[in-house]
Structure 1
């Protein structure tokens, strides 16, 4: 059985996949930021917040929670804010994270529009 057989639309499946990718990218970026010589505390903080929200969002989608809509918007906002912060840094891990987060935010916004 696949997730689409559980009743998730293509848009929802894409959003869920992008959320899990965002979790991985944010955790990796936050860890790498710890090794940087400059103050990366804001990047780390936003990455951790976004990773937690994206993880919760994907899990709530999987269980068809009534709170999914609220988490979709919160995840999109967090991903956009974190991507903006990451874009300010030249580190490869920040740039990759920003790319992944932009995809996550976009798919969350698409999911909100399709509801």
Structure 2
């Protein structure tokens, strides 16, 4: 059950980060969105890696959980700088995933 809650949050974060990165590419001033695109992609990759490892029920994942929490925090902070709806939605998903990582560690 513990893995399932985190896996759900990770999946939601992956989806929002990928959507946000793609939507940023369609923005008029895409150069302003470069950092957002980079961190979106990094966050989606970190979440995907953790999700895949959790699905195996491997126990020694705390280091990756901590890393994922930090990447989600960084992504949320970057997305919160932008006023687009996709960035707002992504920031929210990242914050929820960050909290799920914290709860997993507790």
Q: TM-score range by the shorter chain?
A: over 0.9
Q: Which residue number corresponds to residue 48 of structure 2? A: 55
Partner deviation per Cα, 1:4-35 (whole Å, 9 max, x = no partner): xxxxx3x3211110001111000000000001
Partner deviation per Cα, 1:23-52 (whole Å, 9 max, x = no partner): 100000000000112220100000000000
Alignment check: 8 A CA contact 2:3 2:55 kept: no
Alignment check: 8 A CA contact 1:60 1:67 kept: no
Alignment check: 8 A CA contact 2:69 2:97 kept: yes
Gap regions ≥5 residues in structure 1: 1-8
How far residue 64 of structure 1 moved from its aligned partner, in angstroms, is 2.0
How far residue 65 of structure 1 moved from its aligned partner, in angstroms, is 2.5
Residue 74 (structure 1) aligned with residue 67 (structure 2)? yes
State which structure, 1 or 2, has the greater radius of gyration over its C-alpha atoms.
1
What is the number of residues matched between the two proteins? 104
Question: Could you tell me the TM-score, scaled by structure 2's length?
Answer: 0.93
Give the whole-Å Cα distance in 1 for the aligned partners of 2:60 and 2:89.
Answer: 29
Partner deviation per Cα, 1:56-114 (whole Å, 9 max, x = no partner): 1011001122442111111110001000100110000000000111000000011011x
Alignment check: 8 A CA contact 1:27 1:47 kept: yes
Q: CA RMSD in A?
A: 1.1
Instruction: Write out the 4+ residue segments of structure 1 that deviate beyond 6 Å after TM superposition.
Output: none
